[in-house]
Amino acid sequence: QQQVKQSPQSLIVQKGGIPIINCAYENTAFDYFPWYQQFPGKGPALLIAIRPDVSEKKEGRFTISFNKSAKQFSLHIMDSQPGDSATYFCAATLTGANNLFFGTGTRLTVIP
Amino acid sequence: NAGVMQNPRHLVRRRGQEARLRCSPMKGHSHVYWYRQLPEEGLKFMVYLQKENIIDESGMPKERFSAEFPKEGPSILRIQQVVRGDSAAYFCASSPLGTATEAFFGQGTRLTVV
């Protein structure tokens, strides 16, 4: 059973565009929603995270939007750059839990 | 402060052989997590260990897989009698306080079973 569903599987945008990656979760007890960025051959690196007490969080060009009632959250990348080309994973967990539940990943390509 | 170190980076094993994957956590971290990433899939939790203890192995396959984190030395994920379906990237993460929300990931070991 996939606890976190992620879409799209892949995404291609022009430089300067705003790619949006969506995730939906099942467990209403989840209270921490991070996004990870993974470059080829590297491990996932934490990009930005949100808790359900806010509907939006922005760090630089990266923004998370969170809809608690719909059990959905999304990542927006403003003014995307070729260097943002990577695979992005959403995840969810409970505070104090032993593990993260990951989405299946979105491969983003930003064309110069 | 070096990050989470995993070795080897790439490992090729023939079916039936044993694979040993090593993970040295970040300095000051005594909590280690292992995840497996199958091709075109997200990471899936396998096991969580503290020094000398397995805390949660709910994601570990029941057979052939084992993990340890001794008092001295790295954490080891061991796969006995490997099969083609074990081919994957295996990631280790470590945290200082034992919460998954504060874990840092290593670069992974890519296991190929031929």
- Listed residue (B14, B37, B38) closest to B106, CA to CA: B37
CA distance B101 to B19: 29
- To which residue do tokens 């990943």 refer? A105
Mean pLDDT confidence for B95-108? 87
Instruction: Tell me what pLDDT residue B1 has.
Output: 53
B55-87: per-residue pLDDT in tens?
999 999 999 999 999 999 999 999 999 999 999
Task: Measure CB to CB from residue A43 to each of B55, B59, B107 and give the nearest one.
Answer: B107
Contacts of A32 in chain B (CB under 8 A): 101
C-alpha of A33 from chain center: 8
Q: Answer for the pair A73, A33: CB distance below 8 angstroms, yes or no.
A: yes
Q: Which residue of A has its CA nearest to B41?
A: A104
Contacts of A101 in chain B (CB under 8 A): 45
Instruction: Tell me what pLDDT residue B39 has.
Output: 81
Q: Hey, is B105 helix, strand or coil?
A: strand
Task: Measure CB to CB from residue A96 to each of B48, B99, B104 and give the nearest one.
Answer: B99
Instruction: Tell me what pLDDT residue A70 has.
Output: 95
CA distance A46 to A88: 10
- Tens-of-pLDDT digits for all 112 residues of chain A? 678 999 999 999 999 999 999 999 999 999 999 999 999 988 899 999 999 999 999 999 999 999 999 999 999 999 999 999 999 999 999 988 889 999 999 999 999 9
Instruction: Tell me what pLDDT residue A96 has.
Output: 81
Q: Which of A38, A51, A98 has the highest number of chain B CBs within 10 A, making it the mutation to test binding with B?
A: A98
Q: How many residues does chain B have?
A: 114
B11-55: per-residue pLDDT in tens?
999 999 999 999 999 998 999 999 999 887 889 999 999 998 999
Instruction: Tell me what pLDDT residue B97 has.
Output: 83
Structure tokens, B90: 């295996």
Contacts of B38 in chain A (CB under 8 A): none
Instruction: Report DSSP letters for B31-43, one per residue.
Output: EEEEEEE-TTS-E
- The answer to whether B100 contacts A102, with C-beta atoms less than 8 Å apart, is no
Task: Measure CB to CB from residue B42 to each of A46, A89, A93 and give the nearest one.
Answer: A89
